[in-house]
Amino acid sequence: MARTRVIGAFAATIAVSVAGLTACKQKDTSQSPIGSAPLKPSALPSASSSAPAEWTLPSVKSEERDEAPDAPHVDGGAFKAGTLSDIGPAGPASASRFGVVMISKRDEVVLAPPGKTKGSFKGITLVASSFAEKAPPPAIAGEYAYFVSNGKLARRRVPTLGPVEVLGDARDHTRVAALPATESRPAAAAFIVNPDKPTGSATAMLWVEGGDIVRLSPDGTGASSVSMAESGGEVLVAVLDGRTGMTPVHVRKVQFVDKRPALGENVVAWVAGPAQPTTELTLLATDKDAWIFSPLERETTRFGLAAVHIGGTPKMGSPVEWRMYPNGVDPAPVAAVHACGRELLVYTRPSTEAPGAEQELHLAASGDSGLESSDVLAKAPGIQALTASGDADSLLVVYGHSSRTWALSVPCPHPPKSK
């Protein structure tokens, strides 16, 4: 296990849930709700027991190993927790360059902007009943927040607020991955839809602004979590087909020709063990390299963070490196972010092997050979969700504890000066 530096201990939480959809405009960033019908949620997604009969799981063998001990900080710098801000009640919340973005039950965008003190953020005024506790955080891409509400994929502009835009059908209680528009491609969002028949499986889809919705999941496969990242001018999409037995991890490239998506080959990069309904995967990519991170069981009595190295081109049976945890934890949120000039991973893990032990919030940089040593930024029981955003000077981590939403600023470390 790589060395871990303990920097500080703080408390915080984000318990989140999804809510009703409205087409009304919002005039205030943090005040009175706009009326709409309340959400009538469907049942929580669950891991399936096997793949549909028409799809055969390929024979995939990945080399799996424990990570090398004492992976150093390449630049010699350690991350240290900065200012902790109490944002308000638990609810679907995400870190962004605008501040902390929350989505209310009425599909309002509620913004907690930066405070007067460097690294601080203002609290919101809405009460706990304004938010649904179990909804996933929205995906922030460009000037939009993407989320699922009342069985619909929706987005809303931040911080210059506009009406709710309904983009298509989607599966309640699932998370959206989104990328902003660039000169070469339009905005895009990967999401999950319900089965089209009672015996079917949920599937992953790709929404592209100005175009059709495209199916990402091959026929006969399912989807329980999606992640998306840009790598070398192309888009990578990873899909977890969570099951109670063997869990395939699908990856494919998406190229844009005349701003229209062209799907690359679907590759089963890894076949993991059992997944839980809350198991998610997270893509972390550079221009020439990419990793998929997912916390899950390695064996019956072992649990850890799996790092699947898919490289510049996805391939079947990609190597897997494990960063083991002292005990299992569910959920075990993870967030990838580009900040401080590097690709970073924020994740939670139990502090000890004791049942019910406090969770630690870890931050590690990604190097050429995988994750470097982590720094512990916070400790809290029951961290339920996690997002991060950053720039060249600092990063913002939004997470939660004890029915509250918290924002932790983390300044970029400076390498020690040579003597």
Contact predicate 288/306, CB 8 Å: no
Nearest to 310 by CA among 343, 272, 267: 267
Pairing of strands 320-324, 64-66: parallel
Sign, Cα dihedral of 204, 287, 373, 15: negative
> What does pTM read for this prediction?
0.85
Partners of 215 in the β-ladder = 205
Encode the chain (419 residues) as per-residue pLDDT tens digits: 444 444 443 333 333 333 333 333 333 333 333 233 333 444 445 555 444 545 666 667 778 877 766 555 555 568 999 999 999 999 999 999 999 999 999 999 999 999 999 999 999 999 999 999 889 999 999 999 999 999 999 999 998 888 999 999 999 999 999 999 999 999 999 999 999 888 889 999 999 999 989 999 999 899 999 999 999 889 999 999 998 888 999 999 999 999 999 999 999 999 999 999 999 999 999 988 999 999 999 988 899 999 999 998 999 999 999 999 999 988 899 999 999 999 999 999 999 999 889 999 999 999 888 899 999 999 998 898 999 999 999 999 999 887 899 999 999 987 655 44
- Between CA 137 and CA 130 the distance in angstroms is 15
Domain residue ranges in the chain: 4-411
Which amino acid makes up residue 339? A
Query: What is 4-411's CATH number, 3.40.50, 2.130.10, 2.40.160, 2.40.128?
Result: 2.130.10
By three-state DSSP, how is residue 288 classified?
coil
- Between CA 271 and CA 318 the distance in angstroms is 10
Instruction: Return the percent helix, strand and coil in the chain, to nearest 5.
Output: 0, 45, 55
- Residue indicated by tokens 């004890």: 402
Backbone angles phi, psi at 129, to 5 degrees: -70, -10
